[in-house]
Structure formats: C-alpha cells, structure tokens
C-alpha cells in the first residue's frame, strides 16, 4: 500500500522555504554596472571627493547652477576639477581606454582615434583633439598624454562652447614662461637633444629658450612617442 504523503509542519515548511530562498539568491549572477556608466573602471582613494560624471552632471539641465568639470593636466594622468565646489578627482594612468574615451569626449567633444606604430614603448593607441592634446594607451590602458601648441582653433565641447585652455592645476600650460614654471615647480632644466627640456612633479616639457621669458612649447607625462 502506498503511504500517504504527510504535510510538513509549519515550522519545518518555513525552514525549507528560507533555505530555498537563500540558495536562489546565491545563484543569482552578480549585478553588472550600468552600460555606459562613466564611473566604471575609475577607482577613487577612500574618502576622495566625488564629481558627478553622469550625463546630467556633465550637461547640467537648464537653470541649474552646476557646471561641467574642468580637465587639468597632472603628472599621474589627468585631473577633473569641479568649478562649483573646487573638488578634484583623478583620471589616472591605468584607466581602461573605453572609460577614458567616454569621460574625455563628454568634456572635450569627439576625438580622433588612431594607432601610433613606431613608439619606444611599442604601438600605442591614441585619442587626439585639435587643441593639441593627445592621450596614449598601452595594452588598452591609459598610459600617457602629450600637449603641444595647436595651429588650429580650440576644440569645442558638445554645447558648442570653446573648451578651456589645458593647464596643470597650478596654471602651467603651453605659453607659460620659464619664470612662471619655476615659481610653482622645483623644475630640473637642462639642455638635451630635444632642446631646453624640463622635468617637474612627473611632468616633462620643452622651453623655446633659456631666459626667464622663454615659453613652454610642449608638455607630456607617462608613456609617449618622444623621439630623441
């Protein structure tokens, strides 16, 4: 004779249901970051101030007081500055190229993408803009940047307005004088095969002369295509 199936006691039934739910939760795939998330792959040190890189943050709605972050040059990559609060955040060497492209194109408009085959470190992918900025990537990761005096008009952002001139947070950029450079950096300046070359705080560059009024013509940091 077939034995009748006995119903589970309420306490035992609750336990079975709880275990089943826990097992199902453990088997759920990890939540993936939203596609196109500008923060993905950009790690911040603990306690570092955030800057809104979302679409709403980059292009503030009409009437909002918020302004897009300003990009500055840095010896460890790039740095984004919130013009409203003064907070900064790094866009450091090592960021994946797709994330680098996403963030920088939101701020600077479309880049020309390509590949430099003959570089000392090997072939480098690059993103470049008409204002003289080139970003280099090695093995898919942000590895260096270079800035030179652009002959063409300044690049424009998605809003059609000119992108601010690129400088370090200390204000050093193309056209800065030797005196201004030495006022903010303890720079080492020497004559090399490139000319009057300087190094300071992870930055390298060229001056067009040796006097106090000599001007910066080139700046770079990280992995580059500099031929000596």
Model confidence, pTM: 0.70
Instruction: Give the pLDDT band of residue 86 (cuts 50, 70, 90).
Output: confident
Q: Which has the higher per-residue pLDDT, 162 or 55? A: 162
Q: Above 70 in pLDDT, residue 60? A: no
Mean of the per-residue pLDDT values of the chain? 76
CATH fold of 55-222, please?
protein yfey like fold (2.60.460)
Please tell me the least confidently modeled range out of 131-140, 147-156, 167-176. 147-156
Q: At residue 53, what are phi and psi to the nearest 5 degrees?
A: -105, 10
List of residues 6+ apart from 75 with CB closer than 8 A: 201, 202, 203, 221
Residue 157's pLDDT is what? Answer: 52
Residue 44's pLDDT is what? Answer: 42
Q: Above 60 in pLDDT, residue 178? A: yes
pLDDT average, residue stretch 220-226: 91
Q: Which has the higher per-residue pLDDT, 110 or 67? A: 110
Parse the chain into domains and list their residue ranges: 55-222
Q: Which has the higher per-residue pLDDT, 28 or 135? A: 135
How many other CB atoms are there within 10 angstroms of residue 53's CB atom? 22
Residue 161's pLDDT is what? Answer: 62
How many other CB atoms are there within 10 angstroms of residue 226's CB atom? 15
Q: Above 60 in pLDDT, residue 171? A: yes
What is the maximum alpha-carbon separation in the chain?
A: 108
Q: At residue 163, what are phi and psi to the nearest 5 degrees?
A: -75, 135
Residue 52's pLDDT is what? Answer: 52
pLDDT of 180-216, one tens digit each? Answer: 999 999 999 999 999 999 999 999 999 999 999 999 9
Q: Which has the higher per-residue pLDDT, 34 or 182? A: 182
Instruction: Give the pLDDT band of residue 66 (cuts 50, 70, 90).
Output: low
Nearest-angstrom CA–CA distance, 207 and 214: 6
Residue 82's pLDDT is what? Answer: 87
CB-CB contact of 69 with 87 (8 Å): no
pLDDT of 149-168, one tens digit each? Answer: 865 455 555 566 665 689 99
Q: At residue 109, what are phi and psi to the nearest 5 degrees?
A: 85, 180
Residue 208's pLDDT is what? Answer: 95
Residue 122's pLDDT is what? Answer: 86
Is 130 strand, coil or helix? coil
* Range picked from 62-71, 77-86, 131-140 for highest mean pLDDT: 131-140
Q: Looking at residue 31, what DSSP letter applies?
A: P
User: How open is the CA angle 66-72-76, to the nearest 5 degrees?
Assistant: 130
């Amino acid at each position: 004779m077939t034995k009748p199936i006995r119903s589970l006691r309420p306490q035992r039934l609750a336990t079975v249901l709880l275990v089943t739910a826990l097992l199902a939760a453990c088997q759920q795939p990890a939540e993936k970051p939203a596609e196109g998330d500008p923060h993905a792959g950009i790690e911040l040190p603990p306690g570092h101030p955030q800057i809104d890189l979302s679409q709403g943050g980059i292009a503030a709605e009409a009437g909002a007081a918020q302004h897009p972050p300003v990009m500055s040059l840095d010896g460890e990559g790039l740095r984004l500055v919130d013009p409203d609060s003064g907070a900064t955040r790094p866009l450091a060497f090592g960021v994946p190229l797709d994330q680098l492209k996403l963030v920088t194109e939101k701020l600077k408009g479309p880049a020309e993408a390509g590949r430099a085959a003959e570089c000392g470190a090997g072939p480098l992918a690059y993103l470049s803009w008409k204002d003289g900025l080139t970003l280099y990537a090695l093995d898919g990761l942000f590895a260096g940047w270079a800035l030179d005096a652009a002959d063409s008009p300044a690049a424009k952002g998605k809003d059609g307005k000119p992108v601010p001139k690129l400088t370090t947070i200390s204000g050093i950029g193309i056209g800065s004088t030797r005196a201004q450079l030495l006022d903010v950096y303890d720079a080492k300046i020497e004559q090399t095969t490139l000319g009057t070359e300087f190094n300071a705080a992870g930055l390298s560059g060229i001056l067009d002369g040796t006097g106090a009024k000599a001007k910066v013509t080139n700046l770079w940091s990280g992995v580059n295509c500099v031929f000596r």
